Amino acid sequence: MIRRFHKDDSAQVSFLALAASLVLVGLMAMIINTSDVVRHRIHNQEVADVTALAAATWSARGLNTISMLNILNAKLLSMTVIVNAASRTMPVVRGVHGVQTGIAAACTPFCTPWSILLQAQGIIIEPIDAGVRAMEPITRNCSGAAWSVMRGLQTASEAVRQTFGRIGYLEAPAIAARNGASSAFAVEGSLLEIAGSNLTEAGALPVSTQDRTPADFCTAMKSGGPGFVMQGYTEGEGPAEHGRGIWSDLDPISVFNPALATLGAPWIFDGFYSSEMTRLGCDGSTPEKEGQKVEFNSLPQCREHDVTATWNYYQDETDWILDGSLTLNDFVAWTPQDVDLQGGGGAIENAAAAVGADIDGAVPVVHTPTGRGVSELTGQRKVRSRGASCAGGGRSGYPIVERAMGSDIIFVGLRSHPDYTHFEIGESGLHRRATSVRSEVTGTYFLRVERDEREVAVEGEGTRSEYKYSLDAWVLVDAGEKVLEGEELTEYYEEQSGTADSGPVDSGGSCGSFPVPHLLVDEADDKLRYFAVVNHGLGEANQPPRPFWSNYFSVSPTRFTSFSQAQVYNDLSTDMFTQDWRVRLERATLLEAALQRAGDLGLGSIASTASSVITTVNNH
């Protein structure tokens, strides 16, 4: 049979064709398999991207919503300021208008034109007055409807803060599943911080009202920001300033024109406006505009902006006096003669400004000299001014001063000079030795007192001792100035209005609490990043149930795992008054960072090694 088989040469070419076909089928399978794998890898990566973006998008939505609510509250607060200032202004306007109408009537017919004009003014004043009075119940401090709405909006912000991020946690895997993923999850970056995670805050948006005050609305109300520009406000003008501008615009129709004798109502209004703003903890003055020079009043500001502080050096001395019991403290509250306490440009004025006038919401203190030796001083003179650069960091901004060391003279920084004692002016206006709180504001000074003694012959008494005290003083008269622009200017305003030492004069009172904005917390960065992991089994998803025998013909499914990272960002501003929060994909680094952190915490060298490997093969 074997011989017959050898002799039978039929269909031998078909064997070759069969062999070739097997090779070709194998090659075809390879290509199709590669194509399938590549397509699924790309698909899986895109699903991971969508999952991370879905979680991040809910955060962005939440932050945009909270920004919108903050803007609404800033507008409502501005409205209360404007209406309340107007309602305090109108009685004055009405009173003055009535007096003027009476005078005009008395001098008729000579004052007839004036009388006609006053009648015209009356026609305009009445509806304005009626409108303001109609608004009063809405804007009345604490109890007005506007305040209820503001509190409601703040509550709504809190609800958004608590829920939106968590909705994202639920939605992200659902979207992944709809795109064919076997399993998926997304977490915020802060949860990957080994030992640093705050699980109770997981999913909550990284904004807070903690430690916030109504003064945190100040910058937005006065200077606006990108969020207000998006709403049509002029750049650099917030809703409160906008309202004040509207009032000023009434001027051209001569209703309040001082030349036409209604007592200069814009100025009256400005006064009440400032008062209302100060009540909220805001500085009522008009903010500096872009490109305007800003004067600083403390050495920390001087250092932050790399400018030069100015110190004045004064000398003074007493006459020869009999009482030799004076000490350094008796010369505290020494007052340079060239200072006008009512608004001049000297050291004490600056000192008063430092503790009050330049800090939002605070009231300028009254300078109170108390030292007994101050009255004995007679020969005061300003010797020189000296600039001290603040570019050197923590202890810079102080002048270098001579110091006698035996027969030698060396130079030391004033702050370290042992012969000088550092004084400051406190909130109450009393002078005291410097503390760390306010010791570097303008007006702070360093005193050195030396005593001279002589014997004087007195008829019938023999001799007596007389004393003369000489005093050296260095005074910080200004902490530099600079033209601020862009972010530097914005940050300056935020510091000035948001962290005023005194806070609002009325921090709630009968209101219970003022509305405050939800602002970003310090550690927001990691909470604004989302890390998603998606798993997909090739041949697993969306397959109908297979018969039992299919196991003999199928290979185990290939599993793909992809990860992705998305970031919530706001290019325009993170002031939480700008509704421009968006999401984008970014290079996935959270996992590497978490593993590295685990390694650093001693949780095993494998974690560090894994982090290094992932860093080098990370294909994001």
Question: Should residue 584 be labelled a site residue for other proteins when binding is judged by CB under 8 A?
Answer: yes
Question: Should residue 229 be labelled a site residue for other proteins when binding is judged by CB under 8 A?
Answer: yes
Per-residue burial over 431-448, b = 16 or more CB atoms within 10 Å of its CB, e = otherwise: beebeeebbbbbbbbbbb
Helix, strand, coil percentages, rounded to 5, for the chain = 50, 20, 35
Q: How far is the CB of 533 from other proteins (least distance, A)?
A: 16
Which range binds other proteins by CB under 8 A, 37-45, 65-73, 133-141, 455-463? 37-45
Whose Cβ is closer to other proteins: residue 38's or residue 363's?
Answer: 38
Question: Should residue 259 be labelled a site residue for other proteins when binding is judged by CB under 8 A?
Answer: no
d(C-alpha 4, C-alpha 11), whole Å = 15
SS3 508: coil
- The correct pick among 1, 2, 13, 195 for binding other proteins (CB under 8 A) is 13
Question: Should residue 430 be labelled a site residue for other proteins when binding is judged by CB under 8 A?
Answer: no
Whose Cβ is closer to other proteins: residue 179's or residue 312's?
Answer: 179
Which range binds other proteins by CB under 8 A, 8-16, 156-164, 430-438, 466-474? 8-16
- Hey, what are 233's tokens? 């406000």
Number of residues that bind other proteins (CB under 8 A): 55
Q: How far is the CB of 21 from other proteins (least distance, A)?
A: 7
User: Are the C-beta atoms of 373 and 331 separated by less than 8 Å?
Assistant: yes
Question: Should residue 179 be labelled a site residue for other proteins when binding is judged by CB under 8 A?
Answer: yes
Q: How far is the CB of 43 from other proteins (least distance, A)?
A: 7
- The correct pick among 144, 226, 284, 397 for binding other proteins (CB under 8 A) is 226
Question: Should residue 617 be labelled a site residue for other proteins when binding is judged by CB under 8 A?
Answer: yes
Question: Should residue 170 be labelled a site residue for other proteins when binding is judged by CB under 8 A?
Answer: no
596: left (phi over 0), alpha (psi -120 to 50) or beta: alpha
Closest alpha carbon to 382 in 325, 328, 337, 326: 337
d(C-alpha 550, C-alpha 535), whole Å = 24
Question: Should residue 151 be labelled a site residue for other proteins when binding is judged by CB under 8 A?
Answer: no
- Hey, what are 259's tokens? 């030349």
Residue 273: how many other CB atoms lie within 10 Å: 24
d(C-alpha 54, C-alpha 164), whole Å = 11
Closest alpha carbon to 299 in 443, 428, 494, 495: 443
- The correct pick among 2, 4, 5, 45 for binding other proteins (CB under 8 A) is 45
Strand pairing class (308-317; 481-483): unpaired
Strand pairing class (421-425; 431-433): antiparallel
Q: How far is the CB of 52 from other proteins (least distance, A)?
A: 11
d(C-alpha 321, C-alpha 316), whole Å = 15
d(C-alpha 547, C-alpha 389), whole Å = 84
Q: How far is the CB of 34 from other proteins (least distance, A)?
A: 5
Q: How far is the CB of 293 from other proteins (least distance, A)?
A: 23
Q: How far is the CB of 602 from other proteins (least distance, A)?
A: 22
Question: Should residue 234 be labelled a site residue for other proteins when binding is judged by CB under 8 A?
Answer: no
Q: How many helices (H) and strands (E) does the chain have?
A: 14, 16
d(C-alpha 222, C-alpha 243), whole Å = 10
Question: Should residue 541 be labelled a site residue for other proteins when binding is judged by CB under 8 A?
Answer: no
Whose Cβ is closer to other proteins: residue 416's or residue 609's?
Answer: 609
Greatest extent of the chain over all pairs of C-alpha atoms, in Å: 165
Q: Is the peptide bond prior to 109 cis by the omega test (within 30 degrees of 0)?
A: yes
- The correct pick among 30, 123, 246, 437 for binding other proteins (CB under 8 A) is 30
Whose Cβ is closer to other proteins: residue 14's or residue 108's?
Answer: 14
- The correct pick among 46, 193, 506, 526 for binding other proteins (CB under 8 A) is 46
Which range binds other proteins by CB under 8 A, 25-33, 71-79, 97-105, 301-309? 25-33
d(C-alpha 512, C-alpha 77), whole Å = 16
Give the footprint of other proteins on residues 554-583 (CB under 8 A): 571-573, 580
Contacts to other proteins by CB under 8 A: 9, 11-14, 16-17, 20-21, 23-25, 27-28, 30-32, 34-36, 38-39, 41-43, 45-47, 49-50, 54, 175, 178-179, 226, 229-230, 571-573, 580, 584-587, 609, 612-620
